[in-house]
A and B are shown apart, each in its own frame.
Chain A
Protein backbone atom coordinates (compact mmCIF):
# COMPACT_ATOMS: atom_id res chain seq x y z
CA UNK A 1 0.00 0.00 0.00
CA UNK A 2 0.95 3.65 -0.07
CA UNK A 3 3.53 4.80 2.39
CA UNK A 4 3.65 7.97 4.45
CA UNK A 5 3.40 11.02 2.24
CA UNK A 6 4.37 14.60 3.01
CA UNK A 7 3.61 17.83 1.22
CA UNK A 8 5.15 20.00 0.04
CA UNK A 9 8.46 18.31 -0.66
CA UNK A 10 10.18 21.70 -0.58
CA UNK A 11 9.13 24.97 0.97
CA UNK A 12 11.01 28.24 0.74
CA UNK A 13 9.73 31.11 2.85
CA UNK A 14 10.89 34.40 4.24
CA UNK A 15 11.76 35.09 7.84
CA UNK A 16 8.67 35.98 9.83
CA UNK A 17 6.20 34.12 7.62
CA UNK A 18 3.82 31.35 8.64
CA UNK A 19 4.12 27.84 7.15
CA UNK A 20 2.12 24.63 7.27
CA UNK A 21 3.56 21.21 6.56
CA UNK A 22 1.28 18.26 5.90
CA UNK A 23 1.64 14.57 6.66
CA UNK A 24 -0.54 11.73 5.41
CA UNK A 25 0.18 8.59 7.44
CA UNK A 26 -0.26 5.01 6.33
CA UNK A 27 -3.95 4.14 6.41
CA UNK A 28 -4.96 2.65 9.73
CA UNK A 29 -1.89 3.84 11.61
CA UNK A 30 -2.98 5.47 14.85
CA UNK A 31 0.40 6.79 15.97
CA UNK A 32 2.02 9.72 14.15
CA UNK A 33 5.34 11.38 14.88
CA UNK A 34 7.04 14.57 13.71
CA UNK A 35 10.82 14.87 13.69
CA UNK A 36 13.18 17.61 12.51
CA UNK A 37 16.52 16.91 10.89
CA UNK A 38 19.07 19.68 10.63
CA UNK A 39 22.13 19.42 8.40
CA UNK A 40 24.61 16.88 9.71
CA UNK A 41 22.31 15.71 12.50
CA UNK A 42 20.04 12.78 13.07
CA UNK A 43 16.28 13.29 13.27
CA UNK A 44 15.12 14.98 16.49
CA UNK A 45 11.70 14.34 17.97
CA UNK A 46 9.13 17.13 17.96
CA UNK A 47 5.68 15.73 18.78
CA UNK A 48 3.79 12.44 18.87
CA UNK A 49 0.06 11.81 18.34
CA UNK A 50 -1.94 8.79 19.38
CA UNK A 51 -5.20 9.19 17.51
CA UNK A 52 -6.30 12.82 17.61
CA UNK A 53 -4.48 13.82 20.77
CA UNK A 54 -0.89 14.91 21.24
CA UNK A 55 0.50 12.27 23.58
CA UNK A 56 3.90 13.93 23.86
CA UNK A 57 4.85 17.40 22.63
CA UNK A 58 7.99 17.73 24.70
CA UNK A 59 10.18 18.09 21.62
CA UNK A 60 8.57 21.24 20.26
CA UNK A 61 11.30 23.90 20.56
CA UNK A 62 9.03 26.82 21.46
CA UNK A 63 5.48 28.11 21.17
CA UNK A 64 5.93 29.08 17.52
CA UNK A 65 5.54 25.41 16.69
CA UNK A 66 2.17 23.71 16.82
CA UNK A 67 0.72 20.54 15.32
CA UNK A 68 -2.77 19.15 14.91
CA UNK A 69 -4.39 15.91 13.86
CA UNK A 70 -8.11 16.68 14.05
CA UNK A 71 -9.50 13.46 12.62
CA UNK A 72 -6.79 11.07 13.71
CA UNK A 73 -5.31 10.73 10.25
CA UNK A 74 -3.69 13.67 8.43
CA UNK A 75 -1.52 15.91 10.56
CA UNK A 76 -0.35 19.47 9.99
CA UNK A 77 2.73 21.00 11.55
CA UNK A 78 2.41 24.76 11.82
CA UNK A 79 5.28 27.17 12.34
CA UNK A 80 4.60 30.83 13.10
CA UNK A 81 7.02 33.73 12.62
CA UNK A 82 9.61 31.49 10.99
CA UNK A 83 13.28 32.06 11.75
CA UNK A 84 16.35 31.11 9.73
CA UNK A 85 17.17 28.51 12.38
CA UNK A 86 13.95 26.67 11.52
CA UNK A 87 15.48 25.62 8.20
CA UNK A 88 15.64 21.83 8.23
CA UNK A 89 14.03 18.70 6.84
CA UNK A 90 10.81 17.94 8.67
CA UNK A 91 10.05 14.22 8.81
CA UNK A 92 6.79 12.51 9.61
CA UNK A 93 6.47 8.88 10.66
CA UNK A 94 3.52 6.66 11.49
CA UNK A 95 3.05 3.31 13.20
CA UNK A 96 0.16 0.97 14.00
CA UNK A 97 0.09 2.25 17.54
CA UNK A 98 1.05 -0.84 19.49
CA UNK A 99 3.96 -0.83 21.89
CA UNK A 100 7.21 -0.96 19.97
CA UNK A 101 5.59 -0.98 16.50
CA UNK A 102 7.88 -0.01 13.65
CA UNK A 103 7.80 3.62 12.62
CA UNK A 104 7.55 4.21 8.87
CA UNK A 105 8.95 7.49 7.62
CA UNK A 106 7.80 9.86 4.93
CA UNK A 107 10.15 11.53 2.43
CA UNK A 108 10.27 14.74 4.43
CA UNK A 109 9.65 18.41 3.70
CA UNK A 110 12.73 20.55 3.22
CA UNK A 111 12.01 23.96 4.74
CA UNK A 112 14.27 26.87 3.88
CA UNK A 113 13.78 30.17 5.67
CA UNK A 114 15.51 33.06 3.93
Chain B
Protein backbone atom coordinates (compact mmCIF):
# COMPACT_ATOMS: atom_id res chain seq x y z
CA UNK B 1 0.00 0.00 0.00
CA UNK B 2 1.08 3.56 -0.65
CA UNK B 3 1.74 5.52 2.49
CA UNK B 4 3.53 8.73 3.49
CA UNK B 5 4.59 9.25 7.09
CA UNK B 6 5.52 12.59 8.61
CA UNK B 7 6.40 11.77 12.21
CA UNK B 8 6.34 15.33 13.55
CA UNK B 9 3.07 17.25 13.85
CA UNK B 10 4.86 20.38 15.00
CA UNK B 11 8.43 21.53 14.66
CA UNK B 12 9.66 24.73 16.30
CA UNK B 13 13.05 26.21 15.50
CA UNK B 14 14.76 29.52 16.06
CA UNK B 15 15.41 31.88 13.19
CA UNK B 16 18.75 31.07 11.61
CA UNK B 17 18.77 27.49 12.87
CA UNK B 18 18.82 24.52 10.48
CA UNK B 19 15.52 22.82 9.67
CA UNK B 20 14.79 19.21 8.75
CA UNK B 21 11.23 18.04 8.16
CA UNK B 22 11.08 14.27 8.02
CA UNK B 23 9.19 12.23 5.47
CA UNK B 24 9.18 8.46 4.96
CA UNK B 25 7.18 6.60 2.38
CA UNK B 26 6.16 3.11 1.35
CA UNK B 27 5.47 2.32 -2.29
CA UNK B 28 6.08 -0.76 -4.41
CA UNK B 29 7.68 0.83 -7.44
CA UNK B 30 9.37 4.08 -8.34
CA UNK B 31 7.32 6.91 -6.90
CA UNK B 32 7.66 10.57 -7.51
CA UNK B 33 8.03 12.57 -4.29
CA UNK B 34 6.87 16.12 -3.59
CA UNK B 35 6.80 18.70 -0.84
CA UNK B 36 3.75 20.97 -0.72
CA UNK B 37 3.47 24.02 1.54
CA UNK B 38 0.49 25.94 2.85
CA UNK B 39 1.16 29.39 4.27
CA UNK B 40 -1.40 31.00 6.55
CA UNK B 41 -4.63 31.80 4.67
CA UNK B 42 -3.18 30.63 1.37
CA UNK B 43 -3.83 27.60 -0.77
CA UNK B 44 -1.71 24.50 -0.94
CA UNK B 45 1.18 24.98 -3.36
CA UNK B 46 4.05 22.91 -4.66
CA UNK B 47 7.38 23.67 -3.01
CA UNK B 48 9.59 21.17 -4.78
CA UNK B 49 9.68 17.74 -6.39
CA UNK B 50 12.52 15.25 -6.34
CA UNK B 51 12.96 14.93 -10.10
CA UNK B 52 13.68 18.65 -10.41
CA UNK B 53 16.60 18.52 -8.00
CA UNK B 54 16.07 22.23 -7.38
CA UNK B 55 16.52 24.41 -4.34
CA UNK B 56 13.39 26.47 -3.76
CA UNK B 57 13.42 29.25 -1.14
CA UNK B 58 16.59 27.66 0.21
CA UNK B 59 14.91 24.27 0.74
CA UNK B 60 16.27 21.02 -0.67
CA UNK B 61 15.13 17.43 -0.44
CA UNK B 62 16.98 14.29 -1.47
CA UNK B 63 15.26 11.05 -2.28
CA UNK B 64 16.89 8.19 -0.40
CA UNK B 65 15.50 4.97 -1.86
CA UNK B 66 17.39 2.79 0.59
CA UNK B 67 15.79 4.48 3.58
CA UNK B 68 12.58 5.34 1.65
CA UNK B 69 12.91 8.91 2.86
CA UNK B 70 12.51 12.36 1.35
CA UNK B 71 13.42 14.74 4.14
CA UNK B 72 13.12 18.50 3.56
CA UNK B 73 16.05 20.61 4.69
CA UNK B 74 17.05 24.23 4.96
CA UNK B 75 20.32 25.40 6.52
CA UNK B 76 19.00 28.67 7.99
CA UNK B 77 15.32 29.02 8.85
CA UNK B 78 13.51 32.31 8.26
CA UNK B 79 10.35 33.58 9.93
CA UNK B 80 8.52 33.50 6.59
CA UNK B 81 9.12 29.74 6.43
CA UNK B 82 6.49 29.24 9.13
CA UNK B 83 3.78 27.18 7.45
CA UNK B 84 2.24 23.74 7.13
CA UNK B 85 4.36 21.33 5.08
CA UNK B 86 3.04 18.18 3.42
CA UNK B 87 5.07 15.42 1.87
CA UNK B 88 3.34 13.58 -0.96
CA UNK B 89 3.97 10.84 -3.49
CA UNK B 90 2.50 9.81 -6.80
CA UNK B 91 2.96 6.79 -8.99
CA UNK B 92 5.79 8.34 -11.00
CA UNK B 93 5.80 7.18 -14.58
CA UNK B 94 2.30 5.74 -14.38
CA UNK B 95 0.76 8.78 -16.02
CA UNK B 96 -1.43 11.08 -13.99
CA UNK B 97 -1.92 9.51 -10.62
CA UNK B 98 -3.42 11.05 -7.54
CA UNK B 99 -1.19 12.33 -4.79
CA UNK B 100 -0.91 10.48 -1.50
CA UNK B 101 -0.20 12.96 1.29
CA UNK B 102 1.26 12.68 4.75
CA UNK B 103 -0.53 14.28 7.68
CA UNK B 104 1.69 17.34 7.55
CA UNK B 105 4.16 19.08 9.82
CA UNK B 106 3.60 22.58 11.10
CA UNK B 107 6.87 24.51 11.09
CA UNK B 108 7.10 27.43 13.46
CA UNK B 109 10.16 29.67 13.18
CA UNK B 110 10.72 31.72 16.29
CA UNK B 111 12.38 35.12 16.04
Contact = CB atoms under 8 A, between A and B. Distances in A.
Contacts of B100: 45
Contacts of A48: 96-98
A71 interface: no
A106 interface: yes
A7 interface: no
B93 interface: yes
A99 B96 contact: yes
A95 B43 contact: no
A101 B94 CA distance: 12
Contacts of B45: 104-105
B95 A103 contact: no
SS class, residues of chain A in contact with chain B: loop
Contact of A42 (B32, B43, B104): B104
Interface in B66-103: 86, 88, 90, 92-103
Nearest to B103: A42
B46 interface: yes
Highest count of chain B CB atoms <10 Å: which of A42, A44, A56? A42
A12 B72 CA distance: 37
B98 A59 contact: yes
Contact of A99 (B44, B86, B95, B99): B95
SS class, residues of chain B in contact with chain A: loop
Chain B interface size, under 10 / 10 to 19 / 20 to 34 / 35 or more: 20 to 34
Interface string A90-113: 010001011111111111100000
Given A40-B103, A42-B86, A42-B101, A91 B44 contact: yes
Interface string B11-45: 00000000000000000000010001000000111
B56 interface: no
Given A100-B51, A100-B92, A108 B43 contact: yes
Interface of A: 3-4, 31, 33, 35, 40-45, 48, 50, 55-56, 59, 91, 95, 97-108
